[in-house]
A and B are shown apart, each in its own frame.
Chain A
Amino acid sequence: MKMTALANILIFLCLFGANFAVAQDIAIERGEQTYMRVGCYECHGTDGKGNEAGPPLTPDTLPPEAIANFVRFSPGRMPVYPEEILSDAEISDIVAYLDSVKPSPDADSIDILRGLVSEEN
């Protein structure tokens, strides 16, 4: 009897975990689609790695609330994304996508960048 209860709990946890993982995958996929559709990639790159036009969004992606706060009132060059064209839920998906992106190598681990010096001597 005790064994069965334990088994049930285990099964529940596995299913829950699997469900959670599946839900997370779906959110990531939706996030990527939204990220591309509303044009984030134009300035921040297809995987949020940034450049001169738009800063990197990953790693250390801001939480959805902070991002929402920024894009709704962006004071600078960044186009404003009001709620009616980019919902909070979509922003959460975008954050899930950005969190899933593989990190970039460190500058010092890249042969070309390692030896670069700022001044000629």
Chain B
Amino acid sequence: MVSSSKESKSEVGRRNFLKTAVVAGAATTLPDEVSAADSPTQAIKSDAQTKRGLAAPSTEQMNMEASTLDQLAEASSEQLASSNSADTASSFGSDFMIDVMKSLDLDYVFSNPGSSFLGLHESITVYGGNSKPEFITCMHEESAAAMANGYYKAALKPAAIMCHGTVGLQHAAMNIYNAWCDRVPLIAILGNTIDAADRMGGTTWRHSAQDPAAMVRDFTKWDDQPASLQAFAESMVRGWKISTTPPMEPIALTVDSTLQEMKVDDRDGLAIPKFTPSEPPQGERGAVRETAGLLVDAESPVIIADRLARTPEGMSLLVELAELLNAPVIDIASRQNMPTKHYLNQTRQSGRLISQADLILGLEVTDFWGQINSVNRAEMTSEPRVKEGVKLITISVNDLYMKSNYQDFQRYAPVDISISGDAEATLPVLIEEVKEAMSRSRSRALSRKEKMFRKMHADSFEESRQLAASGWNSSPVSTARMCMELYEQIKTEDWALVSVGASERFVSSWPHRLWDIDEHYRYLGIGAGGGVGYGLPAAVGAALANKELGRFSVNIQCDGDFMYANGALWTAAHHRIPLLTVMHNNRAYAQETMLVQGTANRRKRGVDKAPIGTVIQDPNIDYAKLAEGMGVWSAGPIEDPEDLRPALIEAVKVVKSGYPALVDVVTQMR
């Protein structure tokens, strides 16, 4: 079965060395291909260099270059496969691990290379043919984790990251936390050398830990460090299942380097267990029925949805429920739950509606307390913003995955009915029960509200439209102008706004105010843990998914966020990931400028120092140049709003031909 004695390990070591030499030999024949494969990026770059500002490489040119690249990529993988044909049988531990990954239909591993997972790295590219999973080169583990997050939200399919269980995981941790707060499944594969006798000094010691996953245990749902290949198979499949069962969350698997290198003599003696997705937990029928009755009888019910729509089905179900009751919906939109142009999407009236409601139904709302109370952060005070006697009901998986240390679970909210269950999975039953409880006359009575809600919807839309005109010609460019010029260019595409910084409020929520967000995939929410450094890599990961799905990916990119992990742009260029990035370049950590301003005002000791430490000026950063330097077509910095349209038109062309593009817009702070 599996040889695990020291002798056979050193045998493996020698064989590995020889094999590595063979691969290296094969690789020596590759440089031509590698450099040729790089040439399209180079061509784009030089083209961008000459035409930077307003012109794109011609579509023809890029089509030709892309097809040349595909041929070269195919040729080189064939060459590699044939050069190793004698060795393609599963023979190393890491090869078996790839078999397990393939059995789960894993498409991508987002990774930055590291010696603790060399075996896996080589197996992905050589044994696995760099397909399912494909190795996506990331320039920072933080980017890898955000890419996997964005990828999941667009593809609705988990991806893996692979990093050193020590230094790599230290980098990845923040965006694993963002994924945790976002209820996103993610498989973190952590390289490690558990057996100290197998550590060959220096780095192998520094890059080993007794318990690597400890660092992220507070914000992963499960982790394991399997000690055999058979245990790996079971842990990988188990981890996948745990991660993708609502509440979906990241999991971590520490993968021992010795296990990766282990020679497998009897592959048939190893079994890959069958993966069966778990059905999500559904709310208890009796409580759902009671909720339905209360909803039907309520005079002014309000539905609040946050992470309800795990899938497009969630959106359809919410629309159906809201229409049955003619109940307004407030969409916190950590996922797109309700189409923005549906008359029952009353998000902009949330304050008024919540304060008048006689029943509030929260669907996968993380911070329900925050919805029913108003907080004055500066004064450190809060007060209820709901009527006395309001019935409060929640359906969520919130109580099913809590951990103690990190406080992302928010303040405790007392409610009248608390249903533990996945809201999307519970809605069909709730809808059924509402239909059951609804008399004809009640239905007629409720339908009379439609006119009022249509008017309210139209009024708040008009208010936003008027506000968008204010400052239309300003320089720095208003966020309204930036967002609406962008929308004008993409609205006829099958677009998806894959990322919008740490909060959509950073661009005054223009997409949700005025764009027609009519599909679940058109908006993917934000970095849920509030960890900045999510936006760009998450956009790249989502755009990778959308490339296959034929969607046009758009990223509104804050400058501060950009500078945490801008290497993600190179990943987009390298892997030919079409993505339109529009910089909301307010030359500041504006959120912090405002917060420092507020603090200074409260302390009354001078109010003119807020920019210290919070602005990104002197020197200004040239994002177009940065992009260009990474092989990405770019334009800007644009200060005159009149220059925006022609730049966007060109950028859209570039993206439609399969490449990333960036337009740097110098903007107002909000």
Q: Could you list which residues of chain A lie within 8 angstroms of chain B, going by C-beta atoms?
A: 37-39, 41-43, 45-47, 49-54, 56, 79-82, 84-86, 102, 104-107, 110, 112-113, 116, 118-120
- Complex-state Cα separation, A86 to B608, whole angstroms: 11
Task: Chain B residues near A116: list those with CB within 8 A.
Answer: 461, 465, 514
Give the CA-CA distance A83 to B166 in the complex, in Å: 54
Could you tell me if B604 and A104 are in contact, using CB atoms closer than 8 angstroms?
A: no
B608 contacts A113, C-beta separation under 8 Å? no
Residue B151, interface by CB 8 Å: no
CA A59 – CA B516 in complex, angstroms?
29
Chain B residues in 8 Å Cβ range of A42? 590, 593-594, 597, 610, 669-670
Query: Quick one: CB contact mask for B577-613 with A, threshold 8 Å, 1 for yes?
Result: 0000000000000100110011011101011101000
A39 to B597, Cβ gap below 8 A? yes
Which residues of B from 610 to 626 have beta carbons under 8 Å from A? 610
User: In the complex, which of the residues A81, A85, A106 has the most CB atoms of chain B within 10 Å of its own CB atom?
Assistant: A85
Cβ-defined contact, B478 with A113, below 8 A? no
Total residues of chain B contacting the partner, CB 8 A? 50
B341 at the interface (CB under 8 A from A): yes
Contact of A49 among B458, B478, B505, B514 (CB under 8 A): B478
The answer, among B342, B485, B598, for a CB contact under 8 Å with A112, is B485
Which residues in B have some Cβ–Cβ distance to A below 8 Å?
Answer: 339, 341-343, 378, 454, 457-458, 461-462, 465-474, 476, 478-480, 484-485, 487-488, 505, 508-509, 514, 516, 518, 590, 593-594, 597-598, 600-602, 604, 606-608, 610, 668-670
Partner of B484, one of A39, A45, A112: A112
CA distance in complex: A11, B478 (Å): 45
| A74, closest chain B residue (CB) | B601
CB of A118 within 8 A of CB of B467, answer no
Contact A45–B597 (Cβ < 8 Å): no
The answer, among A51, A113, A120, for a CB contact under 8 Å with B339, is A120
Q: How far is the CB of B187 from chain A (nearest CB, A)?
A: 37
**How far apart are B344's CB and chain A's nearest CB, in angstroms?**
11
Query: How far, in whole Å, are A63 and B45 apart by their CA atoms in the complex?
Result: 54
With A43-B669, A49-B478, A51-B670 given, is the CB distance from A118 to B341 under 8 Å?
yes
Q: Give the nearest-CB partner of B515 in chain A.
A: A116
List the B residue with the shortest CB-CB distance to A71.
B601
Task: Please tell me if the beta carbons of A120 and B516 are within 8 angstroms of each other in the complex.
Answer: yes
A19 to B465, CA, bound (A): 41
Cβ–Cβ < 8 Å partners of B590 in chain A: 42
Question: A39, B593: Cβ atoms under 8 Å?
Answer: yes
Q: Given that A39-B610, A113-B465, A113-B484 are known contacts, is A85 also in contact with B601, CB under 8 Å in the complex?
A: yes
**CB distance B467 to A47 under 8 Å?**
no
Query: Shortest beta-carbon distance, B645 to chain A, in Å?
Result: 9
Chain B residues closer than 8 Å to A50, beta-carbon distance? 467, 470-471
Top 3 nearest A-B pairs by Cβ distance?
Answer: A49-B471, A118-B461, A79-B601
Where chain A touches its partner, the secondary structure class is loop
Q: What's the nearest-Cβ distance from chain A to residue B460, in Å?
A: 8
Residue of A nearest to B377 (CB): A77
A37 to B469 alpha-carbon distance, docked (Å): 26
Contact of B472 among A38, A104, A119 (CB under 8 A): A104
Q: A42-B593, A104-B472 are in contact. Are A51 and B604 (CB under 8 A)?
A: no
Q: Name the residue of chain B whose CB is nearest to the CB of A83.
A: B604
* A107 and B594 within 8 A (CB): no
Task: List the A side residues contacting B606 at CB < 8 Å.
Answer: 85
CB B510 to nearest CB in A, in angstroms, measures 8
* Subset of 17 A-B contacts with CB under 8 Å: A42-B590, A42-B597, A42-B610, A46-B668, A50-B467, A53-B669, A53-B670, A54-B670, A79-B600, A80-B602, A82-B604, A102-B473, A104-B469, A112-B487, A118-B461, A120-B342, A120-B518
Task: Return chain B residues, CB-CB under 8 Å to A119.
Answer: 341-343, 454, 457-458
Is the Cβ of A106 less than 8 Å from the Cβ of B469?
yes
Q: Is the CB of B478 within 8 A of A51?
A: yes
CB A41 to nearest CB in B, in angstroms, measures: 7
Chain B residues within an 8 Å CB radius of A112: 484-485, 487-488
Q: Which of these, A41, A47, A102, contacts B669 with CB under 8 Å?
A: A41
Contacts of A105 in B (CB 8 A): 469, 472-473
By a CB distance below 8 angstroms, the chain A residues around B518 are 120
User: Once the chains are docked, how many angstroms separate the CA of A42 from the CA of B609?
Assistant: 13
Contact A85 B607, beta carbon cutoff 8 Å: yes
Known A45-B668, A113-B468; judge A118-B457 contact (CB<8 A): yes
Residues from chain B with a CB closer than 8 A to the CB of A41 are 668-669
20 extra interchain contacts, Cβ-Cβ under 8 A, other than A53-B508, A106-B469, A118-B457? A38-B607, A42-B593, A43-B594, A47-B474, A49-B474, A50-B467, A50-B470, A51-B478, A51-B479, A51-B480, A79-B598, A79-B600, A79-B607, A104-B472, A105-B472, A107-B469, A113-B469, A118-B461, A119-B454, A119-B458
Return A31 CB to nearest CB of chain B, in Å: 15
Report how far A50 CA is from B472 CA in the complex, Å: 11
Chain A residues near B670: list those with CB within 8 A: 42-43, 45, 51-54
CB distance from A106 to the nearest CB of B (A): 6
Give Cα A120–Cα B519 distance, bound, in whole angstroms: 12
Q: How far is the CA of A49 from the CA of B468 in the complex (A)?
A: 10
